[in-house]
Amino acid sequence: MTGINWWGFVGVVLVAYLVPGPDFAVVLRSAARRPRAGVAAAAGAQVGLCAHMVLAVVGLSVVLARHPDALTAIRVLGGAYLLYLGGRLIIPTLRRRGRSPAAEEPVSTRSAFAHGLFTNLLNPKAVLFFAAVLPQFVVPGVAPVAVQVAALGLLDVLLGVLPWSIVVALGVRVAGVLRRPRVRRWWDRVTGTALAGLGGGLVLVRE
């Protein structure tokens, strides 16, 4: 598959990873609570990406992208989920003084993995990436389309190791500062507001 513009694809993928979005916010928040939770959230996001890749290989992502009602349902569910995550961070900081309950409770790797997984699965931008952006790098005649999509999708998943490692490391770096109750409360409010804002944007956006 020498005819594929691999370096161009790598550049597009890395930019997509590093532009802050729902996955970025969930991984950073999890890593700031606990390093292993950050790794688990990143792994969950990549597993979700694998699911999108499988859908693209069998052609379902293209079908979803061409049917606004299906894509709208995914968008609304994803937005509602982000609103839920944001609310879980913000509400406890408003009800009590001192350390927020969310900060005191350990974040399990299973919970972090699930947050990363569902955030990615319900992200309509991931569907559109595999349905509209990735096909631009498919070269007719080089290899079967399904094989090219699978190869590009697998590269996308593997490339995520580097940017997610950077995000997790960033979360670990700020974890020490977040041990201060006042800073933790404001961190939860800011990250919760960011997640809720992303979720509200998905719910309210007009096609």
End-to-end CA, the chain = 36
Please tell me the distance from the alpha carbon of residue 84 to that of residue 196, in angstroms, as a whole number: 7
CA–CA gap between residue 1 and residue 83 (Å, rounded): 42
For the record, the structure tokens of 154 come out as 């697998």
- The model carries a pTM of 0.74
- Quick one: pLDDT at residue 154? 93
Domain range annotation of the chain: 22-204
Output DSSP code: residue 129.
I
User: pLDDT 10s per residue in the chain (207 long)?
Assistant: 677 889 888 988 888 887 778 888 889 889 988 899 999 999 999 999 999 998 888 876 667 667 777 767 777 887 888 788 888 778 877 865 544 444 455 678 999 999 999 999 988 778 878 877 887 888 877 788 888 888 999 999 999 999 999 999 988 888 877 777 777 788 778 878 887 887 787 677 655
Angle, nearest 10°, between helix axes 68-95 and 109-121?
140
Residues in Cβ contact with 207 at an 8 Å cutoff, skipping those fewer than 6 apart = 68, 72
Question: Dihedral of CA 68/123/115/118: which sign?
Answer: positive
DSSP H or E run through 195: helix 181-204
